[in-house]
Structures are given as structure tokens and as C-alpha cells.
């Protein structure tokens, strides 16, 4: 099926933008903490946890440590989502789409 010239051009532009977005997401690295910095999590743009740093002071309280790891991980995930949303908003704004469409 052959698309009209303008539509085909828009599809090509969208594909290029998606590729660029994927490249930018791959470069995202975030850090989040919990317990006043007692647990630190590093995460990439695909929401893979890269590292966890734990202050030895909390190592004895397993329940609190588990809670802080979950909290730091959730915060890192939110930060990744915010960065992706910001990148998508910037890119889609250049396409002239109505606000709030994405």
C-alpha cells in the first residue's frame, strides 16, 4: 500500500524520532536515595537497577533495609519515567501535535 507523499514523510519522520528517543533513553542514568541517603540506587533508562549502595549502619535491621531498597528503587523508576516523558514531550512538540495528545 502506497501512502500519500505527506503521510509517508510523516511516518519516516516518526520512525527517525523513535530511533532518536530510544538512543536518548539508553543514555539515561538516575540516582535515588532512601532513608536520608542510607540506601542509594542507580538505574538506567530501561529501568534496570545498576547498583545499590547500603550504609553499613542499616545492615542490621533487615526489615528497614528492605523497605529502603524498595523505596529507593521506586523513586529511581519515577525519575526515569519523568526523564522519558520530558524527552518525548520535547520531540513530539516538534511534530505540531495538539498539547496533551501524548
The CATH number covering residue 68 comes to 3.30.1310.10
Range of the domain at 65: 29-86
Q: Which has more confidence, 48 or 4?
A: 48
How many domains, the chain? 1
Residue 101, domain member (yes or no): no
Tell me if 74 is assigned to some domain.
yes
29-34, strands of its sheet edge to edge: 29-34, 39-44, 49-54
- pTM for this prediction: 0.72
Rounded to whole angstroms, how far apart are CA atoms 62 and 59?
Answer: 7
Query: pLDDT tens digits, residue range 80-91?
Result: 999 999 888 776
Amino acid at each position: 500500500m502506497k501512502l500519500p507523499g505527506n503521510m509517508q514523510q510523516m511516518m519516516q519522520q516518526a520512525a527517525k524520532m523513535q530511533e532518536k528517543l530510544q538512543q536518548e533513553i539508553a543514555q539515561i542514568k538516575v540516582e535515588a536515595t532512601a532513608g536520608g541517603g542510607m540506601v542509594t540506587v542507580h538505574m538506567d533508562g530501561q529501568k534496570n537497577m545498576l547498583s545499590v549502595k547500603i550504609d553499613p549502619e542499616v545492615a542490621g535491621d533487615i526489615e528497614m533495609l528492605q523497605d529502603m531498597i524498595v523505596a529507593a528503587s521506586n523513586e529511581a523508576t519515577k525519575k526515569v519515567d519523568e526523564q522519558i516523558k520530558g524527552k518525548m514531550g520535547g520531540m513530539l512538540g516538534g511534530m505540531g501535535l495538539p498539547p496533551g495528545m501524548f
